[in-house]
Amino acid sequence: MRNAPTILHLDMDAFYASVEQASKPSLRGKAVIVGGLGPRGVVATASYEARIFGVHSAMPMAQARRLAPNAAYLVPRFRIYRDVSERVMGLLRELSPLVEPLSLDEAFVDLEAGGVAWDAESARLVGVKLRSDIRAATGLAGSVGLAASKMVAKIASEEAKPDGLVLIEPGTERGLLGPMSVRVLPGVGPATGDHLRRAGIHTVEEIAEAGEDELVRLLGKAHGHALYAMALAHDERPVVAEREAKSVSVEDTYDVDIHDRMRVGLEVQRLADRCVRRLRGAGLSGRTIVLKVRRYDFSTLTRSETLRGPTDDPAVVREAAARLLEGVDTTGGVRLLGVGVSGLADFTQEDLFAQAAGEMAVEGEGDLGEGGAVAEKALATSGAAVEGDRDGDAAGEAQPQPAERRWHAGHDVRHAEYGHGWVQGSGVGRVTVRFETPESGPGRVRTFWVDDPALEVAEPLPLVAAETPAAPG
């Protein structure tokens, strides 16, 4: 572990909900809950105003509605979340070449590697400036933890929430962690926490007092050793700049169980296409196709098939997923389906054929034969500009819908007469829109027929207006 608090952990406060509040003036200071709005939806993020009522991430949306019936319930807008995240990550990369993103709203930074901090005071100044820069660039608040290790820096950022900064001096970690619940340590979830509680261990200090041998007896060798080290604040993990993806997948949870076998097959084909869009958006291909099926009784089956070479061909992925589905009994209904690709590579089997075909063209007369057909196919697909998709699970972003169902709560629209707004709700053939922008005050509300030709889906507006360059002279 280092002798200076130069590991920074940034956690954007209630990120999705904060973006929605910054984007929608009428929701500022009010309870906002973002997630899947169907009967089986879950909460992705709740604003701090909603947390007062007991609402939290991963809670079933039906329970959230009972706790906070008057909150604003919105479908996620992952495009704007990604855009804001890119701006924040860009600020982090200005500090150091070692930035380890954990999600859209969370990352570790090695300040020492960037030469911007070497002791407590310089680290604190960097943290203060970073929070100021983030607010100026995005209008949002982020909490910062500074410590000599990743584990303690993350705990410090939790202590800093909301909108704060906490620095833990090296040598003081055990005093901070000792009285905290065992659940504060990474890897201690509900099951491990209950196991420790039954053994009379409730705090981090009690883990340290129990001793390594007792923890190994309770939890097994690997988990016991790791937990004892964490209780002593020992964490030697470095900040890793690139976190290599091991798989790409998408899945959907359905509000009503699907019983029709043909419908299940069509959903699998649709998911395969979305998975390939994500794959291509990341510039990757993969060899192993994975099908995930959660049935009506919550039993989950996973089936996989490994191809001869990596591919990003949607037809190949669809066919493999269909073959996997043939071996799964869906009698009784399906509540979740997923398609994934693993064994990732940055080339495809078609690329190899195309390369060989190109060499043949140089050496021969240009007649590529069968290889030429594959090369043409590779060229036809490699230039497709398909945006990366997001898992369409219960908390996921709504997928394109028929015109009569495209008005998703919270999403952006534009009216020919009234300008930019967002959907407050829709039903019985009507859609209600509040017309406001991040720079305006709370806007007026109007209701239209869902097929009103003057109303259309719009792109999100920036949360902070771009500065106008000063005139020369």
Structure tokens at 219: 């939890």
Kindly report the backbone phi and psi dihedral angles of residue 300, in degrees, each rounded to the nearest multiple of 5, phi listed first.
-115, 130
Q: Around Cβ 286, how many Cβ atoms within 10 Å? A: 26
Rg value, the chain, Cα: 26
Euclidean distance between CA atoms 201 and 227, whole angstroms: 12
Q: Is 106 a catalytic residue?
A: yes
DSSP state of 194: H
Asked if 133 and 155 touch (Cβ cutoff 8 Å), the reply is: no
Residue keyed to tokens 């200076």: 4
Among 339, 262, 346, 338, which residue's Cα sits nearest to residue 311?
346
Please work out, in degrees rounded to the nearest 5, the angle formed at the alpha carbon of residue 448 by the alpha carbons of 447 and 454.
Answer: 130
Q: Around Cβ 470, how many Cβ atoms within 10 Å? A: 6
Euclidean distance between CA atoms 225 and 230, whole angstroms: 9
Euclidean distance between CA atoms 310 and 307, whole angstroms: 7
Q: Around Cβ 367, how many Cβ atoms within 10 Å? A: 9
Residue 266 Cα distances to 257, 263, 274, 308, 337, angstroms:
15, 5, 13, 25, 11
Euclidean distance between CA atoms 109 and 141, whole angstroms: 17
Longest dimension (CA), the chain: 80
Residue 121, helix vs strand vs coil: helix
Asked if 446 and 422 touch (Cβ cutoff 8 Å), the reply is: no
Euclidean distance between CA atoms 335 and 353, whole angstroms: 40
**For residue 334, how far is the Cα from the chain centroid?**
25
Please work out, in degrees rounded to the nearest 5, the angle formed at the alpha carbon of residue 76 by the alpha carbons of 71 and 77.
Answer: 130
Euclidean distance between CA atoms 36 and 60, whole angstroms: 9
Task: Please tell me which residue in 49, 100, 106, 173 is annotated as part of the active site.
Answer: 106
Residues marked as catalytic: 106
